[in-house]
């Protein structure tokens, strides 16, 4: 059973709590790192005097699900689910993925060419993303919600970026303040996401779409200071510098780290999978492995160390928990030629991922050295900090590196510095301890808690509602 959080005494004297309409395609039972952001907001909003209605999808077309995230949702939160016209995820992927091999024979090539044209046409139509097929039903559901119950503001979190059109439509109809939350930068998603549409026409269309929604926002939220600055610059170019921009990091939920999981069966599963000798050094990565978080620098470093000290590599246990693209799996398989123990675990429930974290000797953070990465802060960084294990952060200079160095002055290494990564591994595998590399138990990370970050968002919402109320009030 969910326990409602005790609501503190609020400074205002309103007769009812303010109410927010939160629009989120990615919401439980959908799984993945991006889902936790709206979930933790819903969990914490009531602490600060806001009730929430969630508008999400009834039949999500997604790769992973995580029922365990539902435990964080207070039982009386109203969740409205609208159907999408998307096909199931496997079918949808088949429409956007390129053919794996050139077919043989004339008729086979003709059929393949026709299929290719159909796929390109479908991709061109589904702008900015396939989730646009959810938008019509979501708008109808949103209008029904707002007619039935008074709300004070609308918050849309994306991707999927098509969800922003739901917010702009509802704002036009009901005049409520609209906040757009960019969990990832729209431009960067188009550049690096699997199966993103990178042709000139799609890029132009999506640029116009992004400008359309930005012009209609009352405030814009991003997950890093650098991304916030980037959005602020875009607003300035649109002569919309008056639109508020705020940084709300993903953060960590302190309650997730207060005690070990009270699930003996789960503990037994983890222990059975990771049974190893005491001398083994366990390095853990959690999260998706793809082109923006490539594990290739770490693999190269292990192979380089193996060339000189194979007996040390035999003590390394590398565990990767989460979804992996095919190319990343191929890179990891190169380690099978060494004595390194490689454990590849598919996506698992967040509660189980937390148990994996507690099993590690050190945690690995990855970020590719590509344009724009300096503005990215992986959500898992904050859970790594809350876990208080030593961290190996293979990330380029930027906002992530700055946060890492604040707590681990020696923990950040550039992806191109393969020798330094190999040396870091060598020192640990030899059993040596660098006291300056350990996490300081007295370090203050409270500012990155989900509660603190939610409070920043609520302060923005309060300001927007107060401003709207003042504009609506007659002159004294």
Claim to verify: residue 90 and residue 44 sit in the same structural domain:
yes
Report whether pLDDT(29) > 80.
Answer: yes
Cis peptide before 128 (omega within 30 of 0): yes
Q: Is residue 7 part of a domain?
A: no
Residue 79's CATH number: 3.40.50.2000
Claim to verify: residue 238 and residue 327 sit in the same structural domain:
no
Q: What is the mean pLDDT of the chain?
A: 86
pLDDT bracket for residue 440 (50, 70, 90): confident
**Are 72 and 47 contacting, i.e. CB atoms less than 8 angstroms apart?**
no
The per-residue pLDDT for 275 is 45
Claim to verify: residue 231 and residue 305 sit in the same structural domain:
no
Give all strands (DSSP E) within 223-271, no chain letters: 244-247
- Token pair recorded at residue 225: 């200071």
Q: Is residue 104 part of a domain?
A: no
Report whether pLDDT(49) > 80.
Answer: yes
For residue 475, give the DSSP letter: P
Cα atoms in the 13 Å half-sphere on the side-chain side of 116:
12
The per-residue pLDDT for 112 is 52
Between CA 209 and CA 226 the distance in angstroms is 22
Q: Is residue 1 part of a domain?
A: no
The per-residue pLDDT for range 387-408, each reduced to its tens digit, is 988 999 999 999 999 999 999 8
pLDDT bracket for residue 468 (50, 70, 90): confident
Q: Is residue 288 part of a domain?
A: yes
The per-residue pLDDT for range 277-325, each reduced to its tens digit, is 448 999 999 999 999 999 999 999 999 999 999 999 999 999 999 999 9
The per-residue pLDDT for range 124-165, each reduced to its tens digit, is 678 999 999 999 999 999 999 999 999 999 999 999 999 999
CB neighbour list of residue 24: distance below 8 Å, 6 or more residues apart: 38, 54, 55, 56, 156, 157, 163
Q: Is residue 400 part of a domain?
A: yes
**Are 362 and 433 contacting, i.e. CB atoms less than 8 angstroms apart?**
no
**Are 289 and 345 contacting, i.e. CB atoms less than 8 angstroms apart?**
no
pLDDT, mean of residues 415-419: 98
Claim to verify: residue 199 and residue 144 sit in the same structural domain:
yes
Claim to verify: residue 208 and residue 351 sit in the same structural domain:
no
Report whether pLDDT(374) > 50.
Answer: yes
Q: Is residue 115 part of a domain?
A: no
Between CA 445 and CA 146 the distance in angstroms is 38
Claim to verify: residue 73 and residue 148 sit in the same structural domain:
yes
Count of domains for the chain? 2
Claim to verify: residue 200 and residue 211 sit in the same structural domain:
yes
For residue 238, give the DSSP letter: T
Q: For the stretch 113-142, what's the b/e string if a residue is b when 16 or more beta carbons lie within 10 angstroms of its beta carbon?
A: eeeeeebeeebeebbbbbbbbbbbbbbebb
The per-residue pLDDT for 12 is 45
Claim to verify: residue 195 and residue 271 sit in the same structural domain:
no
Query: Do strands 281-286 and 178-182 pair parallel, antiparallel, or not at all (unpaired)?
Result: unpaired
Burial of 455 (C-beta count, 10 Å sphere; 0-12/13-18/19+): middle
Q: Which residue has the higher pLDDT, 120 or 48?
A: 48
What residues make up the domain containing 151?
18-97+126-251+450-471
Q: Is residue 57 part of a domain?
A: yes
Query: Do strands 341-345 and 316-321 pair parallel, antiparallel, or not at all (unpaired)?
Result: parallel
Q: Which residue has the higher pLDDT, 434 or 455?
A: 455
Claim to verify: residue 455 and residue 393 sit in the same structural domain:
no
Claim to verify: residue 462 and residue 390 sit in the same structural domain:
no
Report whether pLDDT(276) > 70.
Answer: no
Q: Is residue 299 part of a domain?
A: yes
The per-residue pLDDT for 267 is 41
Claim to verify: residue 247 and residue 290 sit in the same structural domain:
no
The per-residue pLDDT for 471 is 75
The per-residue pLDDT for range 173-208, each reduced to its tens digit, is 999 999 999 999 999 876 766 666 668 888 899 999
Q: For the whole model, what pTM was predicted?
A: 0.86
The per-residue pLDDT for range 342-368, each reduced to its tens digit, is 999 988 888 889 999 999 999 999 999
Between CA 123 and CA 205 the distance in angstroms is 12
Claim to verify: residue 233 and residue 326 sit in the same structural domain:
no
């Amino acid at each position: 059973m969910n326990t409602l959080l005790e609501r503190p005494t609020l400074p205002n004297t309103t007769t009812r709590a303010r109410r927010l309409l939160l629009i989120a395609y990615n919401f439980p039972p959908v799984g993945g790192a991006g889902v936790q952001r709206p979930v933790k907001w819903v969990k914490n909003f009531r602490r600060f005097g806001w009730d929430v209605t969630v508008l999400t999808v009834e039949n999500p077309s997604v790769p992973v699900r995580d029922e365990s995230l539902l435990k964080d949702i207070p039982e009386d939160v109203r969740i409205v689910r609208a159907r999408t016209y998307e096909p199931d995820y496997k079918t949808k992927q088949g429409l956007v993925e390129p053919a794996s091999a050139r077919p043989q024979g004339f008729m086979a090539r003709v059929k393949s060419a026709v299929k290719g044209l159909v796929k390109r046409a479908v991709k061109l139509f589904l702008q900015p993303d396939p989730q646009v097929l959810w938008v019509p039903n979501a708008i109808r559901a949103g209008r029904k919600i707002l007619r039935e119950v008074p709300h004070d503001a609308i918050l849309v979190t994306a991707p999927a970026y098509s969800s922003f059109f739901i917010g702009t439509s509802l704002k036009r109809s009901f005049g409520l303040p609209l906040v757009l939350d960019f969990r990832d930068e729209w431009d960067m998603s188009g550049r690096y996401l699997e199966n993103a549409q990178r042709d000139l026409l799609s890029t132009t269309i999506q640029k116009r779409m992004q400008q359309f929604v930005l012009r209609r926002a009352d405030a814009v939220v991003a997950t890093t200071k650098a991304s916030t600055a980037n959005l602020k610059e875009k607003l300035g170019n649109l002569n919309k510098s008056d639109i508020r921009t705020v940084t709300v990091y993903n953060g960590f939920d302190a309650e997730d780290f207060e005690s070990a999981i009270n699930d003996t069966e789960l503990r037994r599963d983890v222990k059975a999978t990771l049974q190893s000798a005491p001398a083994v050094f366990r390095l853990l990565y959690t999260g998706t492995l793809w082109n923006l978080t490539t594990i290739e620098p770490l693999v190269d470093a292990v192979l380089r160390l193996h060339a000189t000290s194979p007996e040390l590599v035999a003590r390394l246990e590398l565990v990767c928990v989460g979804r992996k693209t095919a190319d990343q799996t191929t890179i990891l398989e190169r380690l099978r030629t060494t004595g390194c123990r490689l454990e590849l675990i598919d996506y698992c429930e967040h509660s189980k991922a937390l148990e994996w974290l507690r099993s590690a000797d050190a945690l690995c953070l990855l970020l590719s050295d590509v344009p724009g990465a300096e503005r990215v802060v992986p959500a898992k960084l904050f859970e790594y900090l809350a876990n208080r294990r030593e961290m190996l952060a293979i990330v380029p200079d930027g906002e992530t590196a700055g946060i890492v160095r604040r707590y681990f002055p020696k923990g950040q290494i550039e992806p191109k510095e393969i020798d330094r990564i190999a040396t870091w591994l060598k020192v640990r595998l030899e059993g040596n301890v660098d006291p300056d590399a350990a996490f300081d138990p007295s370090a203050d990370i409270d500012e990155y808690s989900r509660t603190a970050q939610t409070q920043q968002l609520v302060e923005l919402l309060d300001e927007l509602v107060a401003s709207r109320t003042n504009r609506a009030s007659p002159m004294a």
